[in-house]
A and B are shown apart, each in its own frame.
Chain A
Amino acid sequence: MDMFLYIDKDTFLHRLDPRTKLAVMFGSFVIALLFESLPILLALAVIILLYGHSGKVLSNLKRIRVILFMIGLMSIVIWSITRGGETKLLGPITLEGIIYGITVGIKFNVMIISGMIFLSSTTIEGISLGLVKLKVPYRGAFAFSTAIRLVPMIVATSYTITQAQRSRGLDLDSGSFIQRIKKYVPLIIPTFVSVIRSTNVFSMALESKGFGYDKERTYYMELSFRSVDYVILIITLLLILVSIYAKITFKL
């Protein structure tokens, strides 16, 4: 499994400041949470998909298609049975429940797609520096970006250990689900030990490069708002304000 979500393209979306993309993502969360109206959530979904399409990053949705489908399916199943309503279809299942299930499924999926668009169009360095610019201490931002980079390395280490044990005769494919999980437990320990053991060397390497020398630090990468960032930020803010107004006034 490829653990890197970023898709390297030169598009309008990729060139936006990470803080602008964060604001759009949180704006979409706020709007999605405000409404329980299917047409409005569908409209929001279309806007988010167009936004993602502008950056040519929607191909990443294939990677989470099972999750998106499961969310939609489970929402419809759960809500159609538990929501109740006047139009009975079969047993406890009602038409209102099914519609509500679709609405909630879209609400969750819109938030997840919005998050995926942000991650697919923003580099780890961009996210990290964006957080620093938003006043997150750089040591915290460093830990965050390092952790993201470590995930593929940890997965690769566990794969190597698994292959080594297989070559010594470990059979991971036979037995029940529980038995197979049990066989994986001893494989986790060497992965942990191998990763944690690197702490001392890692911290020495960092300090030898001057990590923590000063509270403030400079970056090779520079972030700055362009006029298009301001336009997107104003549009996002306006959409949030209009949504709040519509929610209060029309009780949507």
Chain B
Amino acid sequence: MKEVIKMWKSTKMVVLVALCAGLYAALLIPFKSLVLIPGITEIRPASALPVVFGLLFGPAGAWGSAIGNLIGDFFGSLGIGSAFGFVGNFMFAYVPYKIWNNLGIVDSNDREPNLKSGRKIGAFIVAAIGGALSCALIIGWGLELLGMVPFAALGAIISLNNLIPSLVLGIPLLMILYPRIKKWDLLWEDIMPEEDLPKTGPRQRSGAIIMFIGILVGLIGGLAVAVGGGQELFNFAQAGEGVSIVLIAGLGVLATFVGSLMQ
């Protein structure tokens, strides 16, 4: 995870953070009035971007997604939830490139995100699921903890709201953008110095597995506990009442961060 800090040494990566954030915000803002949960989330076709940014620009894409989401929040939903939105959107781009590099789906000799094989498309789908659900888990858990919105509603809505654009728009977007980004030497692994690139190995693979399982268990477990425990999907009256939901989802969040730190 050191590359997340070390990338700030490179001017080109700093510029990519700003450009990714600007693009993400520019696509978020026009849809701010299509509210799904008042003050929290809206219809977001822009959710197609973080996974693509993560795979192309690595940590710059992750910071760009986080900052872009915060700027988007300035136009109608800036509140305490924006803090969780910042972390959640960071993970929305961070988790995909970690899954891509370390989970072992993609051949270790050819990690270029060019989606030229069925295996790479499969890896993209897994990466998008990981990214989208990690964002839903962190925001859902945070706002349940504050007693603002129930985990059952927010976790489900953000998961779908993130996942559908990531898969439907993300795949063609990456297919079109990759050759150009590669040609301009703007892939993050081409920009960052060799010594600052994260290592790959058994430890990193274990980290990716822990992170992915943490996301799935946290989100699906949290939803199962919420629904099984009587927290109806759209019964907002029960936000903050489920200690076990906070605990299960919180364990998922913890595992996600522990797994991330191992990479």
- Bound together, the chains give a CA A229 to CA B130 distance in angstroms of 45
Which B residues lie within 8 Å of A147 (CB)?
Answer: 17-19, 21-22, 25, 64, 67-68, 71
Which B residues lie within 8 Å of A111 (CB)?
Answer: 39, 78-80
- Asked if B160 lies at the interface with its beta carbon under 8 angstroms from chain A, I say no
Nearest neighbor of B7 in chain A, beta-carbon distance: A139
A75-113 vs B, Cβ < 8 Å mask (1 yes, 0 no)? 100110011100000000000000000000100110110
Nearest neighbor of B52 in chain A, beta-carbon distance: A192
User: A29 and B18: CB pair below 8 A?
Assistant: no
| Shortest Cβ gap from A5 to chain B (Å) | 7
B185-211 vs A, Cβ < 8 Å mask (1 yes, 0 no)? 010000000000000000000000000
A52-90 vs B, Cβ < 8 Å mask (1 yes, 0 no)? 000000000000101100111011001100111000000
Known: A82-B234, A108-B38. A29 touches B79 (CB 8 A): yes
- Bound together, the chains give a CA A126 to CA B63 distance in angstroms of 21
A144-182 vs B, Cβ < 8 Å mask (1 yes, 0 no)? 101111110111001000000000000000000000010
User: B11 and A211: CB pair below 8 A?
Assistant: yes
B220-235 vs A, Cβ < 8 Å mask (1 yes, 0 no)? 0000000000001011
User: B12 and A70: CB pair below 8 A?
Assistant: no
9-residue interface stretch from A39-47, A201-209, A217-225, A237-245: A201-209
Interface residues of B in 1-49 (CB under 8 A from A): 8-9, 11-12, 14-19, 21-23, 25-27, 29-30, 32-33, 35, 37-39, 45
B67-90 vs A, Cβ < 8 Å mask (1 yes, 0 no)? 110110111111110000000000
User: B18 and A146: CB pair below 8 A?
Assistant: yes
- Bound together, the chains give a CA A182 to CA B10 distance in angstroms of 37
**CB within 8 A of B26: which of A71, A105, A154, A181?**
A154
User: A82 and B237: CB pair below 8 A?
Assistant: yes
User: B79 and A115: CB pair below 8 A?
Assistant: yes
Interface residues of B in 99-152 (CB under 8 A from A): 146, 148
Chain B residues with a Cβ closer than 8 Å to the other chain, count = 55
User: A202 and B80: CB pair below 8 A?
Assistant: no
- Bound together, the chains give a CA A68 to CA B109 distance in angstroms of 52
Which A residues lie within 8 Å of B37 (CB)?
Answer: 74
User: B35 and A74: CB pair below 8 A?
Assistant: yes
Which B residues lie within 8 Å of A112 (CB)?
Answer: 39, 76-79
Which A residues lie within 8 Å of B25 (CB)?
Answer: 147-148, 151
User: A192 and B177: CB pair below 8 A?
Assistant: yes
User: B22 and A150: CB pair below 8 A?
Assistant: yes
Contact-size category for A: 35 or more
| Shortest Cβ gap from B42 to chain A (Å) | 9
Known: A64-B75, A143-B14, A199-B15. A71 touches B35 (CB 8 A): yes
Which A residues lie within 8 Å of B9 (CB)?
Answer: 212
- Bound together, the chains give a CA A193 to CA B176 distance in angstroms of 10
**CB within 8 A of B237: which of A3, A84, A116?**
A84
| Shortest Cβ gap from A205 to chain B (Å) | 9
- Asked if A23 lies at the interface with its beta carbon under 8 angstroms from chain B, I say no
- Asked if A50 lies at the interface with its beta carbon under 8 angstroms from chain B, I say no
Which A residues lie within 8 Å of B74 (CB)?
Answer: 5, 115-116, 119
- Bound together, the chains give a CA A109 to CA B39 distance in angstroms of 8
User: A137 and B76: CB pair below 8 A?
Assistant: no
User: B19 and A158: CB pair below 8 A?
Assistant: no
User: B16 and A199: CB pair below 8 A?
Assistant: yes
- Asked if A51 lies at the interface with its beta carbon under 8 angstroms from chain B, I say no
| Shortest Cβ gap from A58 to chain B (Å) | 16
User: B173 and A189: CB pair below 8 A?
Assistant: yes
Which A residues lie within 8 Å of B213 (CB)?
Answer: none
User: A67 and B15: CB pair below 8 A?
Assistant: no
Known: A64-B75, A111-B79. A70 touches B35 (CB 8 A): yes
User: B15 and A115: CB pair below 8 A?
Assistant: no
- Asked if B257 lies at the interface with its beta carbon under 8 angstroms from chain A, I say no
B149-161 vs A, Cβ < 8 Å mask (1 yes, 0 no)? 0000000000000
A/B interface sample: 13 pairs, CB < 8 A: A5-B75, A67-B76, A70-B33, A71-B39, A115-B73, A146-B22, A148-B22, A153-B22, A154-B23, A154-B26, A185-B169, A196-B177, A200-B186
The 7 closest A-B pairs by CB, nearest first: A150-B22, A115-B78, A147-B21, A108-B39, A111-B79, A146-B18, A71-B38
19 more A-B contacts (CB under 8 A) besides A83-B236, A111-B79, A189-B177? Answer: A33-B148, A78-B234, A82-B237, A108-B79, A147-B19, A147-B22, A150-B18, A151-B22, A151-B71, A153-B22, A155-B26, A188-B173, A192-B23, A195-B19, A195-B22, A196-B19, A199-B186, A203-B14, A206-B11
